[in-house]
Amino acid sequence: MSLMTHAARWLAPASCFCSVFGATASGQMIRPDSATATTAFSSGYVITNAINGSGLPANFTLQSEHANYVSGNHWTTATGRTVGESATFNFNTAQTLGGFYMWQHRSNNIANNPFYAVVRFDLVLRDGSGALLANLTNLTALPNIATAQTIPFPITTNVRSVQFIVRETQNGNSSPYTGLAEVAFAPCIAVQGGADASTSVCPGGSTTIAAGEFGSAPFTYQWQIENANAPGGWETLSDGPYPAARLTFTGTTQASLGV
């Protein structure tokens, strides 16, 4: 599991005695510790290929393109094993998840029988005892995309396994094969703001945090984010995307910061 943390604070004029509150973003992507599957074409196309980063650069991100389909970098099913086949992704410790990151199978223009991509699927989330936490059906993804697709779902806690079940492939299920290139999961970002308020933000979601105020008005505001490479360890924020934390900020000079 890869983790990164960031904190945000607001500044006010020196004439104002102000407390500092923050937003903490925990996690960029959560990668499974192990995986099993109901089928594999051969030992070169096992489900482990879809969780070990094969076919992606070191320190890959969601914008990294997966390499084309070859032995050792994809999970591919056995002949005739498509709809209803599944892969289960396991975590050694319980996770709080809010989305699924999926790199599609890259068989087009490579395989003799192309169009392996999964375009409709289910996700079944379970706890450590195997009890059902969530059954997410008829989720969809696009074919022919080399970077990760994000499929948000409701915040689910205490997750120890996620089963991915194939329901439809790119060419109307006529291809004899299917599979995946790589998967990971989206953590929800824990946000703490003024007056000890706290919430979570998952993929596709948003929230607002407010500055705590002490002293006499008028106040002015400038939000900053913790950055060890910036002078003093804090970087001034501006409205718009902040790629290092995969967040988008609004209201960076206002009392309330949108995340």
pLDDT tens digits for 36-82? 999 999 999 999 999 999 999 998 988 899 999 999 999 999 999 99
Beta carbons of 114 and 100 less than 8 angstroms apart: no
| Strand-strand pairing, 179-187 and 75-76 | antiparallel
Retrieve residue 103's tokens. 């790199």
Beta carbons of 126 and 133 less than 8 angstroms apart: yes
- pTM confidence score: 0.70
Task: State the amino acid at position 155 in one-letter form.
Answer: I
Give me the residues paired with residue 135 across strands.
Answer: 124
The alpha carbon dihedral of 57, 74, 185, 92 has a sign of negative
Retrieve residue 62's tokens. 């969601």
pLDDT exceeds cutoff 90 at 221? no
Mean pLDDT of the chain: 80
Q: How confident is the model at residue 107 (pLDDT cuts 50, 70, 90)?
A: confident
pLDDT exceeds cutoff 80 at 5? no
Residue 218 to residues 16, 221, 257: CA-CA distances in angstroms?
A: 9, 10, 18
Q: What is the mean pLDDT of residues 96-113?
A: 86
Backbone angles phi, psi at 233, to 5 degrees: 80, 5
Predicted pLDDT of residue 223: 77
> Which superfamily is assigned to 34-188 in CATH?
Galactose-binding domain-like (2.60.120.260)
Beta carbons of 210 and 195 less than 8 angstroms apart: yes
CATH 2.60.120.260 maps onto the chain at 34-188
**Cis peptide upstream of residue 218 (ω within 30 degrees of 0):** yes
Instruction: List pLDDT tens digits, range 182-200.
Output: 999 988 765 555 444 556 6
